[in-house]
């Protein structure tokens, strides 16, 4: 005689509120790079801590500078305590900053430049199309050449 089948196990899961903020417990590394006490007049970026990467940002038109620890400077929310005069670092990255107004102006310039380039590309790709009506009254497209 065959064994009777066991009834299926039903597990009830707790409902999840989709609007609940889990950012403090999700383990996302970007939370460790969040800043404490950032100045509203500065724009901050985390840069890989090697001379070439730091040099690229220092030579940028925005003039980024390495942020050094002081009691009132921005730092990572996960820092273990940075001494005065020591660069603010986190996971092989160094914190750099530049003037917010200059950075915003550069970003506006880049958006304008990219927008103008897209318009040119679109205009060139679109071409000039002319409609032509033949003797029978039918319309056809003709690409205009040079």
Check if the beta carbon of residue 49 is closer than 8 Å to that of residue 89: yes
Per-residue pLDDT, 27:
64
Residue 27's Cα: distance from chain center in Å?
A: 19
User: Running DSSP on this structure, what letter comes out for residue 30?
Assistant: H
Q: What is the pLDDT of residues 80-138, one digit of tens each?
A: 677 777 888 888 899 999 999 999 999 999 888 888 888 877 776 666 667 778 888 88
Q: What is the pLDDT of residues 94-109, one digit of tens each?
A: 999 999 999 999 999 9
- In angstroms, the Cα distances linking 128 to 6, 44, 45, 68 are 73, 46, 45, 57
CA 118 to CA 108: how far, in whole Å? Answer: 15
- In angstroms, the Cα distances linking 101 to 94, 96, 142 are 22, 16, 50
**pTM value?**
0.59
């Amino acid at each position: 005689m065959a064994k009777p089948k066991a009834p299926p196990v039903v597990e009830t899961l707790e409902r999840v509120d989709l609007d609940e903020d889990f950012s403090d417990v999700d383990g996302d590394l970007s939370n460790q790079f969040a800043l404490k006490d950032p100045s509203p007049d500065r724009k901050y970026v985390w840069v890989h801590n090697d001379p070439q990467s730091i040099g690229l940002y220092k030579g940028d038109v925005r003039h980024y500078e390495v942020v050094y620890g002081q009691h009132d400077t921005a730092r990572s929310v996960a820092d273990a305590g940075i001494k005065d005069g020591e660069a603010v670092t986190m996971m092989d990255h160094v914190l750099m900053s530049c003037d917010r107004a200059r950075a915003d102006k550069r970003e506006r310039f880049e958006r304008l430049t990219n927008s103008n380039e897209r318009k040119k590309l679109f205009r060139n790709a679109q071409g000039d199309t002319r409609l032509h009506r033949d003797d029978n009254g039918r319309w056809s497209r003709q690409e205009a050449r040079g």
